């Protein structure tokens, strides 16, 4: 096993241990930021596969998140069939994938800005359905999210009471480990897709459809498959968001949410799983942090005040809008590419330094002549 692979596995193990230990030290506010960030990262990874790897522009990601969230609420709730919550999660993800499959013929035939406009129509159509289908969605006021239970253990409730190492585990702590497991599953699944034949086919499709067709890539099939997989990722993210919010409302799943997801993958780096995750954490955590510390920040008004200053949410959008501009100007491959180039530069410097330290100095001509002279 190479030293690089050994160090990579060690870093991954340390990161997993750190994430598992955080619920023992963080309060509910920081745990909620983590829950929202992990849910957003799952959706951003799916959009990264579609737009960053397969090269298909989508402005309708919020629609598929709504399908996953409301699908779980209806399937596990009283107005619906009242299925076991774990089964409702699986069916909600499949329902989002089916919605993507129904739209995939359009995705297989149009591309670029035309596909973006077509997916944008999904957002407006979905928002109208969420507002008018009161019996299923609850209308404007939304619906409460049924608690997730598995084997009698509730992830979203405080009963039964649970204490681990003296720390009481409420809904946030329990959902943390569930979200972490789902995020890890989607992370490694996406990495496997990118490293396998489907990933290479989607990259070839993004770079040149003509070259991909010459190499034997079925263009319509892979474009449709990328849309379905991305929709399933969005559906799972919608379920995770619903469990974290504990209530779903139609206004959350609007055009602004789709734009947020595009910002995530652009800031993080197109076509990168780690970049999509970093962008999701940045875009999700920034408005929450600005809301909490609004009274300590200049030019930002505290929530509920009307003193003419910019609100935390608007200020956060301005900031990551500026971040997008800076990324496009100075790091077009996003935060992931910036980190990769920095690490490569540091590695080259370290290699040059080690080579200079271990190199044997060349003997000077004078010392070489003295060495040739016979000793008396």
Q: What is the pLDDT of residues 319-332, one digit of tens each?
A: 877 888 888 788 77
Res 365: pLDDT: 53
Q: pLDDT at residue 260 above 50? A: yes
CA distance 339 to 368: 48
CA distance 219 to 227: 12
Can you tell me whether residue 160 is helix, strand or coil? Answer: coil
% the chain with pLDDT above 70: 87
Q: pLDDT at residue 299 above 70? A: no
Once rounded to an integer, what is the mean pLDDT over residues 229-253? 93
Using alpha carbons, select from 17, 49, 364 the residue that is nearest to residue 237. 49
Q: What angle do CA 34, 38, 40 make, to 5 degrees?
A: 115
**Could you tell me the pLDDT band of residue 113, with boundaries at 50, 70 and 90?**
confident
Please say whether the beta carbons of 241 and 36 come within 8 A: yes
Res 371: pLDDT: 47
**Could you tell me the pLDDT band of residue 376, with boundaries at 50, 70 and 90?**
very low
Q: What angle do CA 352, 353, 354 make, to 5 degrees?
A: 95
Q: What are phi and psi of 248, to 5 degrees?
A: -115, 135
162/16: higher pLDDT = 16
Beta-strand ranges (E) seen in 193-258 are 247-248
- Taking the CA atoms of residue 184, residue 96, residue 119 and residue 272 in that order, the dihedral angle to the nearest 10 degrees is 10
Q: How far is CA 85 from the centre of its chain?
A: 24
**Backbone φ/ψ region at 216: left (φ over 0), alpha (ψ -120 to 50), beta:** left
CA distance 62 to 119: 10
Q: How far is CA 82 from CA 79, 146, 147, 268, in A?
A: 8, 9, 12, 39
Q: pLDDT at residue 142 above 80? A: yes
Instruction: Report pTM.
Output: 0.86
Q: What angle do CA 131, 143, 236 make, to 5 degrees?
A: 95
Res 47: pLDDT: 93
Lowest mean pLDDT among 45-59, 181-195, 297-311: 297-311
Q: pLDDT at residue 129 above 80? A: yes
Mean pLDDT of the chain: 83
Please say whether the beta carbons of 63 and 126 come within 8 A: yes
279/347: higher pLDDT = 279
Once rounded to an integer, what is the mean pLDDT over residues 269-282? 89
Once rounded to an integer, what is the mean pLDDT over residues 145-167? 73
Q: What is the pLDDT of residues 170-224, one digit of tens each?
A: 778 888 999 999 999 999 999 999 988 888 888 888 888 888 888 888 888 888 8
Q: How far is CA 53 from CA 42, 99, 204, in A?
A: 15, 21, 9
């Amino acid at each position: 096993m190479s030293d690089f692979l050994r160090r990579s596995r060690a870093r991954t193990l340390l990161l997993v241990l750190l994430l598992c230990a955080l619920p023992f030290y963080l309060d509910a506010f920081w745990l909620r930021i983590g829950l929202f960030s992990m849910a957003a990262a799952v959706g951003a990874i799916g959009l990264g596969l579609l737009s960053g790897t397969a090269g298909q522009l989508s402005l309708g990601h919020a629609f598929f998140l709504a399908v996953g969230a409301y699908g779980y609420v209806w399937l596990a709730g009283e107005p619906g069939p009242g299925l076991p919550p774990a089964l409702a999660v699986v069916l909600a993800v499949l329902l989002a994938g089916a919605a993507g499959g129904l739209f995939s013929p359009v995705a297989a035939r149009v591309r670029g800005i035309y596909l973006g406009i077509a997916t944008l129509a999904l957002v407006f159509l979905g928002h109208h359905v969420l507002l008018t289908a009161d019996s299923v969605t609850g209308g404007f006021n939304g619906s409460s999210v049924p608690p997730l239970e598995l084997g009698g253990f509730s992830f979203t409730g405080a009963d039964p009471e649970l204490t681990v190492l003296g720390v009481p585990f409420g809904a946030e702590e329990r959902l943390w480990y569930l979200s972490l497991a789902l995020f890890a599953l989607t992370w490694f699944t996406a990495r496997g897709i990118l490293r396998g034949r489907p990933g290479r086919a989607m990259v070839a499709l993004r770079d040149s459809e003509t070259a991909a067709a010459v190499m034997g890539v079925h263009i319509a099939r892979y474009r449709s498959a990328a849309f379905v997989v991305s929709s399933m990722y969005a559906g799972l993210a919608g379920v995770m968001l619903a469990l974290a919010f504990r209530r779903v409302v139609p206004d959350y799943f609007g055009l602004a949410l789709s734009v947020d997801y595009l910002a995530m993958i652009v800031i993080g780096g197109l076509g990168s799983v780690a970049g999509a995750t970093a962008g999701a954490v940045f875009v999700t955590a920034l408005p929450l942090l600005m809301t909490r510390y609004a009274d300590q920040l200049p030019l930002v008004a505290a929530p509920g005040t009307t003193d003419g200053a910019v609100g935390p949410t608007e200020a956060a959008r301005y900031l990551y809008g500026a971040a997008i501009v800076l990324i496009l100007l100075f790091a077009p491959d996003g935060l992931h590419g910036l980190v990769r180039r920095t690490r490569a530069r540091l590695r080259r410097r370290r290699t040059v330094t080690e080579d200079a330290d271990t190199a044997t100095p060349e003997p000077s001509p004078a010392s070489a002549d003295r060495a040739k002279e016979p000793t008396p």
